[in-house]
Structure 1
């Protein structure tokens, strides 16, 4: 490695570090805002099923702070995820063509929409199903249900956040395909491993019964297949663009100026 190459590599590392720091700052800023809204959001969840039907207790002086931190982190992720994708786009932008820059940038707002959709699916479907299952098991064993508020919400966040992040899969795949870091062939070759991983995740975040795993696993697999299809659409468009550029080098060079 010569001095010029080493210098260029160090510039890239420094640039990447700066962008990662910006993402962390946005996450911290989002968490700071989250502390403001944590209490009303917490009270909302306390007034809706299943929390409003059970007594939640505090077993540790730090439980209230832990809940505030969990809600603040969740709120902080809402702006941090699309901003992280924007920083990745900005980092790779110098190596992208003009049409690739514009196309990949348009996907970033959809990352926020899918994250919110994942939150809704995780809470209203997966979490409620899992909680109902566990309470039924407790009742069948004639156990007295005494829930800690920190344990209840940790149980909820451990389900909702992973599901929300999995809902980002189509946008992430489209984004990376536009950046030429992924293509549909790679996704198809890794399909069996992806299915296995998604099945394991669905099994871990749901009650230990087949029906629950299927209810969660099927949407996850469908999201992967949608991602493969969307990646194929983008990749085909890229190949057509490359073919056009080869056949019309003068036209492309003039358009790039």
Structure 2
């Protein structure tokens, strides 16, 4: 099969393409961030500070689940969070405001960034593979936004609920800085979205022969350990939260094995038919 381009591109040409990829992606993110200025009340009051409300949907859901199974719901059914959010720097709120809008621009503009990435790697793909651009953008975007929702409705609330209710003594009052609070929300959302791209990453690694289904199955135990460590990093130090976060990541790993198997099988079929 013929590649997209017959001429070889030099290393400097690739760097130039990569530079423009970053420039265009940055401009789009900044442009979307500027548009988010007009809905900043919704972004902050509803989205960012939503998990701060004890009546947030996640807390109500876990509270009902604990009641359904007859488990003590003291931890899950928080009536109020004994903490306040404060700003300690002169430019703290303004800096947080700008970076939050930029983060929103990245999340919303992620499908465009994927499109730019696809254009960058497409010259190295076969004609048949380049026709998968639409599917690549759609599937990758769906996985990313599912991860974003998982981070926002699961990881962030679990973290806030734990740290807001944890107290070594009644003498200590929780006063969280605005930067630390918003950082928990943004990190949970973006990191989770990127983690959910695992099947796509495995697909391309399998295409270039760097990963095989046998390799993934062989080192499944190590993957489980890494997943548990990752879950322990992004969640509060309690077993229930770690298990809740680990389950979807492990499912993604198993899906990645199936994807790698399909890629290898298709590659062998093409070699036999050629």
Residue number in structure 1 paired with 2:122: 93
In structure 2, do the counterparts of structure 1 residues 49 and 200 end up closer, same or farther at CA, with 3 Å as the change threshold? closer
Return the offset for 1:203: 0.7
Partner of residue 183 from structure 2, selected from 154, 174, 197: 154
* 1:30 is the counterpart of 2:59: no
User: 2:148·2:193 contact (CA, 8 Å) conserved in 1?
Assistant: yes
Equivalent residue number for residue 169 of structure 2? 141
Report which structure shows greater RCO (CA 8 Å, sep ≥6).
2
Indicate the larger mover: 108-117 or 142-151.
142-151
Cα distance in structure 2, aligned partners of 1:208 and 1:154: 18
* 8 Å Cα contact 1:183-1:232 kept in structure 2: yes
| Cα 1:150–1:96 shift into 2, 3 Å | closer
- C-alpha change, 1:92 and 1:56, in structure 2 (3 Å) is closer
| Aligned partners of 1:57 and 1:146 also within 8 Å | yes
Given the superposition, is the C-alpha separation of residues 6 and 230 from structure 1 closer, same or farther in structure 2, using an over 3 Å criterion?
Answer: closer
1:124-139 to 2 correspondences below 5 Å:
124-138=153-167
Whether the 8 Å contact between 2:236 and 2:242 is mirrored in structure 1 is yes
1:209 equivalent to 2:238? Answer yes
Alignment partner of 2:228 out of 169, 186, 199:
199
TM-score, scaled relative to structure 1: 0.78
**For 1:230, which of 241, 250, 259 is the aligned residue?**
259
Deviation string 1:126-166 (CA, Å, 9 cap, x unpaired) is 2212222223322x621323333333222222322211211
Corresponding residue for residue 14 of structure 1 = 16
Structure 2's unaligned 5+ residue stretches are 1-6, 55-79
Q: Is the 8 A contact 2:86 2:178 kept in 1?
A: yes
Q: 1:169-180 residue pairs with structure 2 within 5 A?
A: 169-178=198-207
> Tell me, what secondary structure is at the counterpart of 2:132?
helix
Mean alpha-carbon deviation: is it higher for 48-57 or for 232-241? 48-57
The structure with the greater share of residues assigned to helix is: 1
Q: Which residue of 1 aligns with 2:132?
A: 103
- The separation in 2 between residues aligned to 1:88 and 1:26, in whole angstroms, is 14
Q: Which residue of 2 aligns with 1:83?
A: 112
What SS is found at the alignment partner of 1:44? helix
Q: Does 1:71 align with 2:73?
A: no
CA distance in structure 2 between the aligned counterparts of 1:101 and 1:6, rounded to whole angstroms: 18
Cα contact 2:147–2:194 (8 A) shared by 1:
yes
Q: Aligned to 1:147, what secondary structure does the other structure show?
A: strand
**CA root-mean-square deviation:** 2.9
Following superposition, the deviation at residue 31 of structure 1 comes to 2.6
Question: How many Å separate the matches in 1 of 2:224 and 2:216?
Answer: 11
Distance in structure 1 (CA, Å) of the matches to 2:126 and 2:195? 29
